[in-house]
Amino acid sequence: MNIRLISAILLTNFFLLACQGESDKSDASGTVSGENQDSQPKNKVPVEAPEKLPNDSDIVPSWLDSQWVPPVSLKKFGFFVPTKPLTHGKQVYDYQVNLPLWSDGLEKVRWVFVPNDETVAFKSESPWSFPRGSVLMKHFVDPGTNRFLESRLYVHRNQGWQALVYIWNEHQTDAALISEAKTIELADGKTWLVPGPEDCARCHRSENPVLGITSKQMISFDGIPNEFMDELSARQQLTGYKNSENLQGFPALDHQSASLEDKARAMLHVNCSSCHDGSFSFDLSWQVASDSLIGAPPQFGSLGVEEPALIKAGSVDSSMIWLRMNLTDGRRMPAFGTSRPDSAGLAVLKDWIESLRVSDDTPPEDDDTPPEDDSTDGSEDCGGTDIFGACLERIISDSSS
């Protein structure tokens, strides 16, 4: 038994005793004495030593075996010990994204397990590629209580990625596998729908399910790689990243110097482009300029708005993208995974849409050629909000004729 393993056992033992209010009894013998405290009432923290001590022993990805059956208990993966706060083992990285997906205000903890001697392939334009054996994890936390609610896993097996969902127990020691969606209650009395494993592909639609581990999310708006990238590089588990590329990531929604457009488009990319990548009428990926959406008529209804457009320059009240994000009924967007409007995201989107105007230099200079006929159609209003609408087209053709 090596020194680190012994100290890990001691540490665990210390936690157990501390939780029982008996920290004064901790001994230095290295034996797991927690089991002998039988005069103590059984408490929340399991007294047996955890199956694995993730801070020391290497995890062998048993899920690469074709016979593997997902464990009913999340703890069995060996990624964490149920201490408070929950601690993961040394082979597990944790990371944050610049701009998270809105999930009704729930907080998230993101972990990645990468097998030893394997590497992650950095991509500047698309989601990174993870080796077989990797496990991507996202834990959802109730901000009212700081309790773990559910954990979503993508397990990279030989036959592809498998989605798993676990719901945490009351004592926060472990989480149990679920096979279909479940509604749970949050601290504020509202409910949260935990998706079933079948629901994941609504958003994770590609063979590579990675959505948030991209250069846009891992490199800051100011061009600095995050700690996850540093740690992967330090452990020689990242390939393909060149510092010289000068990549710029998404700004956070409250970034001080990023433009409204940068923030709004980053927000739309994260929350919408998993579905709207050209499917369902349009593309909200950051790679695609938003011009084509401005003034474009909706294909899926107008919500009773008179002059609807996907984005109507200057007016959120006619902009389907804003309106549908602000709904709470069946027409709400995103179409799955949230039920409460994202006030911070909506505020940025509103400020951006309201800042869009017909710019002063777009109308043709027709000082010396007065419009021949401005009264053919009194119903058309060239007031100048809709820069890509029919009205502008008429001005252009008028002036060139």
Q: What is the contact surface with ligand HEC in residues (CB under 6 A)? A: 97, 100-101, 110, 136-138, 152-154, 163, 165, 195, 197, 199-200, 202-204, 209-213, 270-272, 274-276, 280-281, 298-301, 310, 320-321, 324-325, 331, 333-337
Return the number of the residue (98 or 385) whose C-beta is nearest ligand HEC.
98
Q: How far apart are CA 64 and CA 177, in angstroms?
A: 19
Supply 125's token pair. Answer: 């334009």
Shortest separation between residue 19's beta carbon and ligand HEC, angstroms: 30
Shortest separation between residue 144's beta carbon and ligand HEC, angstroms: 20
Return the number of the residue (151 or 385) whose C-beta is nearest ligand HEC.
151
Shortest separation between residue 46's beta carbon and ligand HEC, angstroms: 26
| Torsion, Cα of 60, 62, 63, 67 (10° steps) | 160
Q: Would you say how long the chain is, in residues? A: 401
CB 251, CB 221: distance < 8 Å: yes
Task: Collapse the DSSP code of 232 into the 3-class scheme (helix H, G, I; strand E, B; otherwise coil) and give the result.
Answer: helix
Q: Which of 275, 278, 129, 140 is nearest to 215 (CA)?
A: 129
Shortest separation between residue 132's beta carbon and ligand HEC, angstroms: 16
Return the number of the residue (163 or 358) whose C-beta is nearest ligand HEC.
163
Return the number of the residue (17 or 211) whose C-beta is nearest ligand HEC.
211
Shortest separation between residue 306's beta carbon and ligand HEC, angstroms: 15
Return the number of the residue (34 or 295) whose C-beta is nearest ligand HEC.
295
Q: How far apart are CA 15 and CA 366, in angstroms?
A: 80
Supply 76's token pair. Answer: 């069995």
CB 128, CB 120: distance < 8 Å: yes
Shortest separation between residue 64's beta carbon and ligand HEC, angstroms: 18
Return the number of the residue (266 or 387) whose C-beta is nearest ligand HEC.
266
Q: How far apart are CA 349 and CA 355, in angstroms?
A: 10
Q: How far apart are CA 337 and CA 340, in angstroms?
A: 10
